[in-house]
Amino acid sequence: MFASVIVDIPSKSVNQVFDYRVPSGMEGLIQVGHRVLVPFGPRTIQGYVMSLDETTDFDPARIKEIARTLDIEPVLTEEMITIAMYLADYYVDQYISVIETILPAALKANYKKVLRLADSYTQEAENALAQVSNGSEVEIKRLDPDALKTLSPYLKSGDIREETVITQHTKRKMALAVHSLKQSDVDLSRAKKQQELYDVIDASSEPVFVRDLVNDGFSNALINTLHKKGLIAKVEAEMERDPYSDRVFTSDPPKVLNSEQQHAYDRITSSMDAQEAKTFLLHGITGSGKTEVYLQVIQKVLDEGKTAIMLVPEIALTPQMVNRFKRRFGDDVAVLHSGLSHGEKYDEWRKIKEGRARVSVGARSSIFAPFQNVGAIIVDEEHETTYKQGDRPMYHATEVAKFRSRYHDCPLILGTATPSLETFARSERGVYERLELTMRAGTKVLPEISIVDMSEEHRTGNTSIISGTLEAGIRQRIEKGEQTVLLLNRRGYSNFQICQSCGYVPMCPNCDISLTYHKSNRSLMCHYCGYESAVHRTCDNCQSDEVTFRGTGTEKVEEILRDMFDTEVVRMDNDTTRRKGMHEKLLDHFEQAEVPILLGTQMIAKGLDYPKVTLVGVLNADTMLNLPDFRANEKTYQLLTQVSGRAGRHELSGEVIFQTYNPTHYAIQLAMENDYRSFYEKEMAFRRLARYSPYYFHVLFTVSSEDIRKCLKATTHIHDTLVQEVSDQSIIVGPSPSPLERINRQYRFQIMLKYKREPELLKMLNNLDEHYHEAYRTEGISLRIDVDPLVIM
């Protein structure tokens, strides 16, 4: 028996399967999807079995044997193996990097270099090694230079050799537990507390964790007494790391659906019954009850003994969504997101793999949840760019979702109030079935939206970042004990520092961007590479002391609001939410202490649902409009609509104010009128003229290098290759400097390919990728190929 194995080396030259012999003792044991250790050159490395076969195309005499298997059950299903192949091809990437994205990080190999005694060695060598280690091997990393020097003669003589060993991260978390020994003549009638404890332990069919018993008020001494009496035994039992274990969720019964919700539910479930791999666009305004539809569809999936995957843009930003799922489905829900530790993620993953959880709620990578028998897949807020991974492999979760929907013949539901243009266009063409929810659920209505022209505001003498209208609105809410949410898409205190005498603005030495002033730690920071420097009181250029700060960030607005309204403000941005769990803490505090104002960057635009929020203000609706990206209008429309949706979701009605310098811009006007259809038509006209997606597909090539000449040379080469290889219906834009010309000392140039049909494209992209893989090693030039890019920076 031979196994085709993908090995754990992220290099283009080994992006293929290698054949290994399955040792006779392992036949039947090794299955497709197993992790195995295999010899590769002088080393032993981890690999994944992709297929098993009786024959091989290679010379059987020269084929090496698999050293050992790491799993009892395969970690990759056949489905995941096919997905890995498909994604690696589509996004021009390597199999191994996709496989490692699919699996929880805990299953990845961890290599360490050690020195250990060779098969034959001298006493001297053994003594020398014993000096620096307490066993027969030592990790090289842990040796100081002197120790290494002492050992080096033995390395040369061959008494000691260097080896790479693999360790796994997947230590299961164990804890002390006890179980009853089921003695027949237990009499504890004279020791009431002991009897009580014994009853608890005896009643449980599984070992009970000592920690839990202690939490319930039984002392360690008491537990030991039962142990000494021979009534119970102690064992190490495996513990699940459940991040939600200490939380109680009150149950939440299904609501009676309104007629639009019912229609959507019926369409989706009838496609489920027919076992169709159909994609639905659930286009519902904010608060129209999309989530309620998801919940009821999932209920039906579970009733039929199947499983469901629910994707959300980012869990940390939507704690309320997790709560709703936990309240409806309890322990059936596994939660997967980036905030979990490796161990926690691995535990949730195993819960799914072993069938102990049947619904997953999670961010992008949870689309790889190892479910069998999937009955429905839901992508909430489908327009969000976080669904596309920014690093390799640059996959889009919705692409994977479509694949899985076809694999399982189940419906895929894309939900949003503001569909991406691509998705809406497909629903127009009938590729997706569109389901509309046009009313807010229950008796609620959409908030009133108005626009304040900030240039007008300045002309009439108010230069503050808070307009008169907004100020009055906030005051009113404070008086009535209601709450306001304010969006400002700019963190830090001031945008930048400027010298009034020579105009000098301190820039990041590594990137092509001005530094942002952060008052709390009196520093200038680069938001791209993290560079930080102290603020200087005098200009670095002319030594003048007339340096000031311009532009307003969240940190400064927080101060302005405190002064203006003399009230508490909760601020949410990357600075205040860096620590784990801070999102939720700040939001809980905002809700429970009824803090009058929540100020935040984009991260507050999604998912929040608080009954007392009746006013939403957007301090600068234009920030997104000015991005150098053809999707700037679309992003603006989406953000404004999302954040508006936070107001008046319950009994109290809501109001929204957009402050802008472009009051007549259609993205802002139509967001105010809540007219998605008109926005879609206007934007499509622009995309057609400018020949952008969805009329064309895109591939973005970004070349970077510390040496600007190398960059130019490479972009010219790529440009020439494209000109030669693509049809004349395709358009090549560039080369031009990227909107961010330099990040982290790397110069960046880009080329955009726009095409409708290029059958040979994939092959060409792979060739380019391969070529530049080599160039990266030899010349420090890197090429990033982004297929279907969402961000053009």
Q: Which is nearer to ligand ADP, 288 or 484 (CB)?
A: 288
Is 687 in contact with 630 (CB distance < 8 Å)? yes
Tell me if 635 contacts ligand ADP by CB under 6 A. no
Tell me if 291 contacts ligand ADP by CB under 6 A. yes
SS3 of residue 765 by DSSP: helix
Distance CA 438, CA 432 (A): 18
Tell me if 502 contacts Zn ion by CB under 5 A. yes
Q: Which is nearer to ligand ADP, 347 or 591 (CB)?
A: 591
Chosen from ligand ADP, Zn ion, none, partner binding at 510 (C-beta under 5 to 8 Å by type): Zn ion
Q: Which H or E run includes 336?
A: strand 333-336
Q: From the CB of 295, what's the least distance to ligand ADP, in Å? A: 8
Q: Which of 74, 104, 284, 419 binds ligand ADP (CB under 6 A)?
A: 284
Stretch that binds Zn ion, among 10-18, 57-65, 519-527, 758-766 (CB under 5 A): 519-527
Q: From the CB of 603, what's the least distance to ligand ADP, in Å? A: 17
400-411 CB burial, b ≥16 within 10 A, e <16: bbbbbbeebebb
Is 401 in contact with 379 (CB distance < 8 Å)? yes
Distance CA 386, CA 638 (A): 14
Tell me if 740 contacts Zn ion by CB under 5 A. no
Chosen from Zn ion, ligand ADP, none, partner binding at 502 (C-beta under 5 to 8 Å by type): Zn ion
Q: Binders of Zn ion: how many residues, by CB under 5 A?
A: 15
Q: From the CB of 471, what's the least distance to ligand ADP, in Å? A: 29
Q: What single-letter amino acid sits at 44? A: T
Q: Which is nearer to ligand ADP, 312 or 775 (CB)?
A: 312
Is 752 in contact with 631 (CB distance < 8 Å)? no
Q: Is 539 annotated as a binding residue?
A: yes
Tell me if 626 contacts Zn ion by CB under 5 A. no
Tell me if 613 contacts ligand ADP by CB under 6 A. no
Tell me if 691 contacts ligand ADP by CB under 6 A. no
Distance CA 229, CA 197 (A): 13
Stretch that binds Zn ion, among 56-64, 387-395, 459-467, 508-516 (CB under 5 A): 508-516
Distance CA 149, CA 138 (A): 14
Q: Which is nearer to ligand ADP, 286 or 576 (CB)?
A: 286
Q: Which is nearer to ligand ADP, 269 or 514 (CB)?
A: 269
Sign of the CA dihedral running 544, 550, 555, 558: positive
Distance CA 35, CA 99 (A): 11
Sign of the CA dihedral running 569, 570, 571, 576: positive
Pick from 461, 377, 359: nearest CA to 414 = 377
**In the chain, what are the helix, strand and coil shares in percent, each to the nearest 5?**
35, 25, 40
Place of tokens 């939900």: 415
Q: Binders of ligand ADP: how many residues, by CB under 6 A?
A: 15
Q: What is the CB-side half-sphere exposure of residue 670 using CA atoms within 13 A?
A: 19
Q: Which H or E run includes 735?
A: strand 731-743
Q: Which of 46, 225, 261, 620 binds ligand ADP (CB under 6 A)?
A: 261
CB atoms within 10 A of CB 486: 27
Distance CA 157, CA 159 (A): 6
Tell me if 442 contacts ligand ADP by CB under 6 A. yes
Distance CA 397, CA 368 (A): 9
Tell me if 292 contacts ligand ADP by CB under 6 A. yes
Q: Which of 90, 95, 387, 531 binds Zn ion (CB under 5 A)?
A: 531
Distance CA 704, CA 712 (A): 9
- Report CA Rg, the chain: 30
Q: Which is nearer to ligand ADP, 291 or 360 (CB)?
A: 291
Tell me if 340 contacts ligand ADP by CB under 6 A. no
Q: From the CB of 542, what's the least distance to Zn ion, in Å? A: 3
Tell me if 499 contacts Zn ion by CB under 5 A. yes
Q: Which of 258, 385, 389, 766 binds ligand ADP (CB under 6 A)?
A: 258
Q: Which of 46, 180, 288, 420 binds ligand ADP (CB under 6 A)?
A: 288
Sign of the CA dihedral running 776, 782, 786, 787: negative
Is 401 in contact with 335 (CB distance < 8 Å)? no
Q: From the CB of 262, what's the least distance to ligand ADP, in Å? A: 9
Q: Which is nearer to Zn ion, 544 or 736 (CB)?
A: 544
Q: Which of 207, 289, 473, 617 binds ligand ADP (CB under 6 A)?
A: 289
Stretch that binds ligand ADP, among 279-287, 405-413, 451-459, 766-774 (CB under 6 A): 279-287
Which residue numbers belong to the known binding site? 499, 502, 508, 511, 526, 529, 539, 542
Residues that bind ligand ADP (CB under 6 A): 255-258, 261, 284, 286-292, 441-442
Which residue numbers belong to the known binding site for Zn(2+)? 499, 502, 508, 511, 526, 529, 539, 542
Residues that bind Zn ion (CB under 5 A): 499, 501-502, 504, 508, 510-511, 526, 528-529, 531, 539, 541-542, 544
